[in-house]
Chains A and B, each alone.
Chain A
Amino acid sequence: MSGHRINWFYFAAPQRFYPLAGMAVPWFAALGVILAAIGLVMGLGLAPTDFQQGDSYRIIFIHVPVSWMSMVLYVAMAFWAGVGLVFNTRLASMLAQAIAPTGALMAFLSLWTGALWGRPTWGTWWVWDARLTSELILLFLYIGYLSLRGAIEDERRADRASALLALVGVVNVPIIYFSVKWWNTLHQGASVSVTKGSSMATIMLNAMLIMALAFWMYAFAVVLTRVRRIILERESGAAWTRAYLSDRSPS
């Protein structure tokens, strides 16, 4: 209020971010558990049975949120990787590094739950539908990112190389999505449409949105926990980490 500028980079120092993340993690975790409980009760208990798909549609409450998260996390990862590349801040690169495994997990879960859902409704585990295929390619992009990180020993080089890859990927994602979409329509009429549109009952929609929020909270909690570990590991030479660690483990 009093005219002094906000220092946007105040928490960019891993030393300051570490306790902040530590404070935030329990809140996000608790919110995630509460929201998931509400969402599951609404989704599995209160929402009516679908007249076409029976109860098998209920996996939507996991499937749709994880699919959203897999896409949002890729963009978030590319964003922080880009910030890390441009401003050369260690913390942004660490965040990108921490987001990647969760994003890959979400993409994998999305495919997995999709297969489980496809079996009773479409009668097959897998169709070469545009959305399924682009989700699969998204998973491949995560795997490429993770394996590039893993292959480079030097952390700073790994940060910057994988950041560049993430940015190239994020430019490419729309191109891949649309090409896969057109590819499918070029081949044949799509045998199944995954879009349900507005035909959804309000309680189903609400339950799904609550579950999506729960997954957001989960992602925050897990990413922040992971980033704390990464900070400790990569800053292990710094004075404050040594002091912190020797406080924690009386030897």
Chain B
Amino acid sequence: MRAMFVRDVRLALRRKADTLGAAFFFVIVVSLFPLGVGPETELLRRMGAGIVWVAALLASMLAMPRLFADDAADGTLEQMLLSTTPLPLLVLAKVAAHWLVSGLLLVAVSPVLALQFGLQGPAIGVLLMSLLLGTPVLSLVGAIGAALTVGVRGAAVLLSLLVLPLVTPVLIFGAGAVDSAASGLGFQAQFSLLGAMLALGLFAAPWAAAAALRISLD
């Protein structure tokens, strides 16, 4: 399991273009919004958290199809299915590696983008924390979609169709936490709920994704 994790991280680091691609996509999408809605500071400050969150959602979907596609192409996935290590654990290792190189990068870039939108210090901290709690959930639920669409034509679009409706709660509470913090309300409730989703996702998603992989490679 650890070997799988280390291998995936190493592979991702060797293919920098792939890994950085999603992060640049994230930056570009966020930067497009002021061009679209106008540069008024007040408006941008109010929309900032939501925009960063939506862009993070899209960027993580962009990176998702590769989670299993390469391994399916070269037969590694079949070896995984035959391995003595339980498949959900292997899936969890892959998701963790994937999040470490793509999700964490998004989290790391987000404060700079938040500054562009004129968010204040505390709000940026909350945004950072909410992304830190939320992006693993995106990776976990995305893994189910990625596993279902392994080897399917037009997998990337299909994956977004399947996963985006399912992760709307993460968006709601992630962006909601920043909004509450910005308007001086407490944000513990949203963080608790995000944490609850993360716990549920960590428990259930690898298992569902493993079942989906078995179906896909039947």
Contact = CB atoms under 8 A, between A and B. Distances in A.
Contact of A180 (B166, B168, B216): B168
Contacts of B40: none
Contacts of B211: 164
Interface string A191-220: 000000000000000000000000000000
A13 B15 CA distance: 51
A147 interface: yes
Interface stretch (B16-24, B52-60, B75-83, B157-165): B157-165
B149 A180 contact: no
Contacts of B152: 148, 151-152
Interface string A130-147: 000000010011011001
A140 B166 CA distance: 9
A164 B169 contact: no
A185 to B, nearest CB: 11
Given A157-B216, A164-B212, A144 B165 contact: yes
A172 interface: yes
A179 B154 CA distance: 30
Nearest to A138: B165
B172 A179 contact: yes
B33 to A, nearest CB: 19
Contact of A183 (B162, B176, B204, B212): B176
A159 B58 CA distance: 28
Contacts of B179: 186-187
25 contacts: A141-B166, A144-B165, A147-B158, A147-B161, A147-B162, A148-B152, A151-B149, A152-B152, A157-B215, A157-B218, A161-B215, A161-B216, A164-B208, A164-B211, A164-B212, A172-B169, A175-B169, A176-B165, A179-B168, A179-B172, A179-B173, A180-B169, A180-B172, A182-B172, A183-B176
Interface residues of B, number: 28
Q: From DSSP, what is the main secondary structure of chain B's interface residues?
A: helix
Contacts of A187: 179
Given A140-B164, A186-B180, A179 B218 contact: no
A169 B166 contact: yes
Residue of B169, B176, B211 with highest tally of chain A CB at under 10 A: B169
A137 B165 contact: yes
B144 interface: yes
Interface residues of A, number: 27
Main secondary structure of the interface of A (DSSP, over half): helix
Interface in B135-182: 144, 148-149, 152-154, 158, 161-162, 164-166, 168-169, 172-173, 176, 179-180
B202 interface: no
Contact of B212 (A161, A169, A171): A161
Nearest to B158: A151
Contacts of B149: 148, 151
Given A161-B216, A165-B148, A168-B144, A148 B162 contact: yes
Given A168-B144, A169-B166, A175-B197, A143 B215 contact: no
A90 interface: no
Contacts of A144: 161-162, 165
Contacts of A148: 148-149, 152, 158, 161-162
Nearest to B180: A186
B166 A168 contact: yes
A165 B215 CA distance: 12
A219 B172 CA distance: 34
Given A140-B164, A164-B148, A176 B215 contact: no
A147 B156 CA distance: 12
